[in-house]
Structure 1
Amino acid sequence: MSKPDDLYRLHRLLDGRRSTISRQTLMEKLEISRSKLTRLITDLRNKFGAPLIFDAVYGGYRYDTTDGHHPLPGLWLTSAELHALFTLDHLLKNLQPGLLDQVLAPIHTRIDALLQTEHLGSGEAHKRVRILPMASRTKDIRHFQSVAEAVLQRKRLIIQYHNRERDQTSEREISPQRLTHYRDNWYLDAWCHQKKSLRIFAVECIRQATALGKPAKTLPDTTLNRQLSSAYGIFAGQPIATATLRFTSHRARWVADEIWHPKQQSRWLEDGRYELSVPYSHDTELIMDILKYGPDVEVIAPDALKEAVKIQLDAAVSQYQRGDSACSGFEPGRG
């Protein structure tokens, strides 16, 4: 049977149309081949009983109903729509009281009503679908409002920023460019006037934020995208190297479906292993993602990245070796 998302996209093109739509137009809008369109049409008719006909007089397809509408049985939301619906519902329920209460209340009411409909299981949706945050840091981002206001109003900020790696706090004058929500945490892309370059700041690490009267230095979107979106993860920048990773045939079943970077390259090896190449600027986050795959991944290149991963793995092993030696003198019944 065809994928539900594909069938739904075809249905949306047909539903409610009083005129026909040609095969060629359907193929172009859905960006699919003639053979795949034929399979979708067959499944829509046979599996879901859709009154889909080809009108020879007008040379196109339509639903054979008085108004061109035909309801499909069951849940007809795409994965993206379902995620958006439940994410909005979760956010609205957990929103702190604020200026948007009156504006957002009707939206919340409509979402809640939709989730209670027969179409979505008459109230079962809340119990059957979950949206789980990933690696969200729970610190109170006290200065988010000041930061967001400076971003939107194009004003400079003086911030006290805590660097976790060095465990130091420094004062910076910055020109905020944009906010980024990544892996359930907020980051600020900004021009640092001390360093005279673009920097990425974790918003929860901003200890103090003071708005200045001076307008922010504004960088073109092309510059921001080139310097902050062209390499791996939140530590983006101009790529300095390309990481080549080789995954075991077992782990490849998952990794082959993942998008690590828009410009990644990949290939399957003859023995079933999967090779992935991604550009990166800083290796910090890339190393973290490599380590989580343990023995199922090998760094092939570059040598510097391979050595950095090896150092981390050796350090991890040493933790357990120290633990073993500390426990070697343990005697039952004592201590």
Structure 2
Amino acid sequence: MTTQPADTAPDQVARLLALVPYLLARGEVRLDDAAAHFGTDAAQIERDLRLLFMTGLSPGLPGDLIEVDLDALEGDRMIRVDNADYLARPVRFSPAEATALVVALRTMADSAPEGAADVIERTLAKLEEAAGADGEDLLRLHVLPTPLEASAVVPVLESAIAHGRQVEITYYVPSRDQESRRTVDPRGLARVEDLLYLDAWCHTAQGDRAFRVDRIVTARELDTEVADKGARPRDLTGGWFTDAETTTVTLRLAPPARWVIEYYQVTDQRPGPHGTIDVDLEVASEQWAQSLLFRLAPHAMLLAPADYADTFRATAREALSLYEGDGVDSTRTPQDHPHTTE
């Protein structure tokens, strides 16, 4: 009996980078076909996909993550991914990014083994050729405004912030593939890593929101003034959420769900009964907490707050009721049996 050779971390990263464009180009692919294409087994591709749906664009909020249709994967053994179109396009480097790559590659070239040194030299030559400058000129390039900062919506937002007026925006939500029109009170623009965000009070959602500017399709400054002229922009750079806008959620995690501790910022953790662990997370949306719990089911239980738990039970029972008559017991929810591994 032949066994697959042990998979290394570099092997998996390389496969993941090739896997997404391969899937996007085909729409959907059978699990076994994808395994054959990449010279591995179906179990390994499934592990890759379960890692993939926890990755995406920074800063990694739910709308930024790659979406994998787990129902299709587990039911029909079909692979479908979404919200990853940026990996299907050729990489375009800004001058700053190209410069950083050149500096890093030159540093590596000094100590790289002979085979790797040749690859580094060829890569350097391609970067310098693409930049239209020799290496020394490339290192002296100034950082130019990105297309995002030069986009038409930014001046509109800046003007509305300066004048204390409301803005009507059309905002694209990739997780639902929908555009929504909403009126917001803009407070400020903030750069978080490589992305620009609008900090605002959203009258549609009746709450504080941070909108990714590259997902604002249109923006129109209104004549109406913002509700609170003294409102100051939040500091989004030091952390996404402040105490004023979050709720502490307590989850009880069985062993298969402990990846939450590694993936999300947990404020506290304590041993629970029967090998479980209780964790506290700060969340800014009840809907997001419910979405996470559905992903973890049946290996997690929502302990607090009580109203979140009640809403989740009602939502889960409503979902299960759709399967009545198919042998599913709709009186039990994932909340009722979270520890199937015991």
After TM superposition, the score normalised by the length of structure 2 is 0.43
After TM superposition, the score normalised by the length of structure 1 is 0.44
**Structure with greater Cα Rg:** 1
